[in-house]
Amino acid sequence: MRLIPGTSQGKTMIAPFADVGPEEKMLKKPLLNFLILPFSLLPWWCVGILFNSQAKALPGQSTEEVGAWIKAHPTLRPATGERLLVQKSDTAAQRFTFQASVLPPGKVEFTNDRSKIRSERIAMYDAINGMTFERLQQSLRIIYGLDIYQDFNHGKILYQYPNESSINSARFEQTPVREALRGELRVGDRYVYWVEVAQPRSGKAFTGQMTVLLKTDLDKLQAELQNR
């Protein structure tokens, strides 16, 4: 799959670093702006950070390990009080969320083990540039590094939606939100990846998400996606 960076029109997503000084703000801002700026415009030293970064915490690890990784991550940089959920926005037009959860994606179910992370989700909203599968893939690479991106890129597409039947059903039931959802489940050697954008019939998509999950939770999520 060819990686196509997103586009930008000058708007960047800047975290509200209320507890740091101006010098630290200037250092942290370019790293966070990876999520919005076109890849081709990144300075060479930022590209080095991007390609040399490796994921240190992923689904299957403890909440303590993942929480420490999030806290130290040069792009995520949680605000005071944030631990497993990080939210950033510059304006109402651009938002970014990263969430690590002890629950599998999809319908909420009870779990006895709340000490282990089972899924991690990147969600983005961009009313200025729009949202594409390629931008979500680039965000996966920025946050987790080349190793996880290659696991995704070389993975097998197990399920894609919508199909013609589900589109016709959504139109008959007059549910445009369900009709707009475009997504896929992909299985790599290490993890399962669920990517989805809301693409209306006319106009461009503004929202999307990329979720990394354990292979043990694949059957549950696939069944829910096929039956929704």
- What is the torsional sign of CA 200, 201, 204, 208? positive
Evaluate whether residue 12 is within a structural domain. no
Evaluate whether residue 10 is within a structural domain. no
Between 170 and 110, the more confident residue is 110
88 CB neighbour count, 10 Å cutoff: 21
Predicted confidence at residue 47, as pLDDT, reads 37
How many domains, the chain?
1
Q: What is the mean pLDDT of residues 207-211?
A: 97
| pTM of the shown model | 0.75
Evaluate whether residue 137 is within a structural domain. yes
Decide if pLDDT at 39 tops 90: no
Decide if pLDDT at 53 tops 50: no
Evaluate whether residue 9 is within a structural domain. no
Evaluate whether residue 154 is within a structural domain. yes
Q: Which domain holds residue 94?
A: 22-227
Max avg pLDDT among 1-10, 141-150, 192-201: 141-150
Predicted confidence at residue 114, as pLDDT, reads 87
Evaluate whether residue 155 is within a structural domain. yes
Evaluate whether residue 7 is within a structural domain. no
- Which H or E run includes 196? strand 192-198
Evaluate whether residue 106 is within a structural domain. yes
Decide if pLDDT at 214 tops 80: yes
CA 72 to CA 116: how far, in whole Å? Answer: 19
